[in-house]
Structure 1
Amino acid sequence: MTVPFELSRIHHVAYRCKDAKETVEWYERMLGMRFKSAFSEDKVPSTGEDDPYMHVFLDCGGGNVLAFFELPGQPGMDRDRNTPLWVQHLAFEVPDYEALLAAKDHLVAHGVEVLGPTFHGVFKSIYFFDPNGHRVELACNIGTDDQYAELARVAPLMLDEWSRTKRAPRHAAWLHKEPES
């Protein structure tokens, strides 16, 4: 299927936060993001609703932007109780395994509970929560060009099988076997 336009990148991804200042400071201190800008209105521009908000934007590298809304006039934050905690998360890439381990050490030294590193076949990652309860993942790629090509080749097969069976296809079973050191 073709569309009459082309996407160039994600402009930003937005989540809700409990406290905009605390959130900006945490992402700066814990992940080295740069606070780019903020917008604040008493009325929502797209709907005209009276709903004061602070919208903050953080540079997370590579032209990517992570944004948050603080909404003091809305009920307290909650999450989708029908979705497991591990599903919805923000994932950021670090350059290599050494950087992943350095990030883990940094986070732990600042009192953040970190899970991992976890092996995912073509990447390894660590997991933790931000002060708003959002799960965050840092990942480093470890796969080879051949492995990524094989994953691209079997992706349609895996999706078709999943659609029929709702069971994990094993077209890339090698992903689940960590190589021995």
Structure 2
Amino acid sequence: MQSSFSSLSNVLAPGDLRRVHHIALNVKDMQASRHFYGTILGLHELTGEEVPTTLKELVAQGKVANFVTPDGTILDLFWQPELLPPDPDPERTFTRAYHLAFDIDPQLFDAAVEVIKQNHLEIAHGPVTRPTGRGVYFYDPDGFMIEIRCDPE
């Protein structure tokens, strides 16, 4: 598919951007974050030859971990041991990013809420039911809000 972007234009046309390539998060405790995203949320951690060549050295040094979401988006975790929390009050959200939402089959939603509770993760809101579906909001180890949501049944 030929891009409709033109050097004569000052905007990108719909379809020029193909997909979200990756999401990068700074994390204070790499082990806690790897456990959270890999074990609790069940995202696949890239290892060995799966790691992008440009990140192999940082991954080997323990400074970066890469996960892939079910839709293929890469989640990069960058170790920042001096990372300050966004705010001492978890009700005050990040100024630029609000949350990262994962979709789940409606039949699995209640089980996901139970996993959150069993892992003693702090629930920020919910579970809530809206016309758009159900959702539960909770925090990752660095205080970033995560949502698990589903469409209405």
TM-score normalised by L of structure 1: 0.61
| Aligned partners of 2:85 and 2:142 also within 8 Å | no
Query: For each residue in 1:110-157, what CA deviation from the matched residue of structure 2 results, as whole angstroms up to 9, or x when unmatched?
Result: 2223342212321210011111111110010128xxxxxxxxxxxxxx
The share of aligned pairs that are identical, in percent, is: 24
Q: Which amino acid aligns with 2:93?
A: L
Are residues 1:14 and 2:24 paired? yes
In the other structure, the counterpart of 2:108 is 99
Length, aligned pairs only: 129
Are residues 1:77 and 2:93 paired? no
Determine helix, strand or coil for the equivalent of 2:39.
helix
Structure 1: unaligned runs, 5 residues or longer: 42-51, 144-181
Q: d(CA) in 2 for partners of 1:71 and 1:109? A: 28
Higher relative contact order (CA 8 A, sep 6+): 2
Farther off after superposition, 85-94 or 6-15: 85-94
Equivalent of residue 123 in structure 1, options 133, 138, 142? 133
Determine helix, strand or coil for the equivalent of 2:120.
coil
- When residues 85 and 3 of structure 1 are mapped into structure 2, their CA distance, relative to the original with a 3 A threshold, is closer
Shift of residue 79 of structure 1? 1.7
Shift of residue 109 of structure 1? 1.4
Shift of residue 63 of structure 1? 1.0
| Aligned partners of 1:35 and 1:57 also within 8 Å | yes
Q: Which has the larger radius of gyration?
A: 1
Shift of residue 18 of structure 1? 0.7
Provide the alpha-carbon RMSD of the alignment: 2.8
Q: d(CA) in 2 for partners of 1:105 and 1:67? A: 26
Are residues 1:68 and 2:77 paired? yes
Q: Which amino acid aligns with 1:111?
A: H
Query: For each residue in 1:2-55, what CA deviation from the matched residue of structure 2 results, as whole angstroms up to 9, or x when unmatched?
Result: 6267222111111110122221122122111111156344xxxxxxxxxx9812
| Aligned partners of 2:99 and 2:146 also within 8 Å | yes
Q: Which runs of 4+ in 1 moved over 6 A?
A: none
Are residues 1:111 and 2:148 paired? no
In the other structure, the counterpart of 1:153 is none
Shift of residue 103 of structure 1? 0.3
Determine helix, strand or coil for the equivalent of 1:108.
helix
Q: d(CA) in 2 for partners of 1:63 and 1:53? A: 23
TM-score normalised by L of structure 2: 0.70
Query: For each residue in 1:36-80, what CA deviation from the matched residue of structure 2 results, as whole angstroms up to 9, or x when unmatched?
Result: 156344xxxxxxxxxx981221112111222211124xx432326
Where is the helix percentage greater, Structure 1 or Structure 2?
Answer: 1
Q: d(CA) in 2 for partners of 1:112 and 1:80? A: 18
